Structure 1
């Protein structure tokens, strides 16, 4: 076993998963972070901490990289293996992606289990608004990580395996003296404060979410838990650029996660300006939430699933960021030498941080260990047998 020390910067899902992977493969790891998700009560005070907000389905949404297929399929495979081992919070959802206009099937259509276009589905099972007529899209089965259960279990596994979390702020001037020859940068939007990034513009997407606690799981005719993304025509709901925008509902054991919106901004100092659209909104918890998130979801939930949603319900609003970085090649998964250390970068996952967490962790582990990913996955699963 190799007991070289590695410091991972960042305690979000990418940092935690990468640190756990390396720890189980025999490295001594420590996470340096200025905040931990489990110790934050006001999520809206930290919209940049993406791991506070996932629903989270294992689907490659809002992610840009020519490595998408390999990383996603590796990650998807590992999630299924963890579910076989009864890892906390992992289930299977029957997920629908529905449009009120014709839409090309996605690149990932061949990667999802039991994928079927709308034309092959029973009309009764398709999410729809009361006025819906022609609908397009598809459905598939996917892994769902119930975040209030999955993320704490991931943290517990890391600590049980011998990993440590060091609460401290890392600054650029600290990097030369950090006590490890290998650093893994999983600090997300914080990366720009620590390291030079080769891209001039850094794209971030802001989105509104609502949590309805106590709402039941939505069960389909086949006994499957149902979730959906639904995109009406742009004349009904659009983003600030005028493109049709989707709403969604992801049922969890603690209620529904509802969204969404997509406001574009670029990371800058000291503030980030986001594109906005003057749209109708509801004031919920002191935040302006686009009314379409409630109104369209309300119509779908009542029409298709006979479930109730009202603005007057107990709803908790959130606003979080997706760090897209760049729509041509957003993911930064590479390494460089600084101050005599090797720095591995793992950030820019867009809306797919949870989805790609195991794929990216195994990719970095392969680079560090010089072993192929299938062999590393075998070794990792063997180690999980001891802690699950």
Structure 2
């Protein structure tokens, strides 16, 4: 019923497209996640909407066409038409968007939907406020149409960690630089390991902990190798997600109406990724507890120390993206991103974190309706 409602609402916003491209072959939507994970589930919702509302047909690929590490190059080279890109995996290519993603711990407090707040801020920043971000995606033969973020990050460990002192000496898998700095701040050792390799790394003792949202504890079967999850630390989200990047050559071959359809699909993808993770978190936490895994809240000491880290880390981010990645006007860009995060925290007050349609309407009003299909991604 939820999908029917989404289809009915969005169908009113688009006309049927009839170009040869839309009719000849299905769009390939690719993610490097397992079929039970949120990204391919969200792509299936997008594919169903496209079939019902346009002449586009779409086929979803989950961990079969491209891995997470291969997706960006796969979109660039036309192996897939649309892909789910994790920009921190390509720090040199996507330093402009990664600046925003690296600030994701700004949503550790102040919102009941941290992933929605961060995704709203990043999508608005990339599409409407960051020409340099657009240039980076163009250089990779891609058009950015969607964002997404994990649920709040927890510390997922083979053995319980309840105090700051217990992090010291532990090897902890991280998925983004900001979380690596958090680990090092408290005396641990960061390990940069792809999500697809977390299970082996934990089971073989390569790492003692990983940082993920609770849905991915289940999606990657980590509940079979861990005993303890600390909720509330480190907090923040993984926000370096370009959930619906389109091959630029394909994009520029389409009509304005076809591009408008894909812009609408981008708003749906952004909404469904975030709401999907929040819905999955509810079931995942029940499954985790049923497995007998302890879920403990971070102590006040942990929370206070993390908040101190977030404030101090903004200086590190500014310095690194200036000197290491050569990003211009970093302080100004960080101020814009901070303002957008604060804006989206306010916009999401009272919004059910599991309600994708309410979030999509907000995204459309604030961002996607402002994208001109005749000019966006066409320069």
Q: TM-score, normalised by structure 2?
A: 0.29
Q: TM-score, normalised by structure 1?
A: 0.28
Whose RCO is larger (CA < 8 A, sep 6+)?
1
Structure that is richer in strand per residue: 1
- Greater C-alpha Rg: 1
Structure that is richer in helix per residue: 2
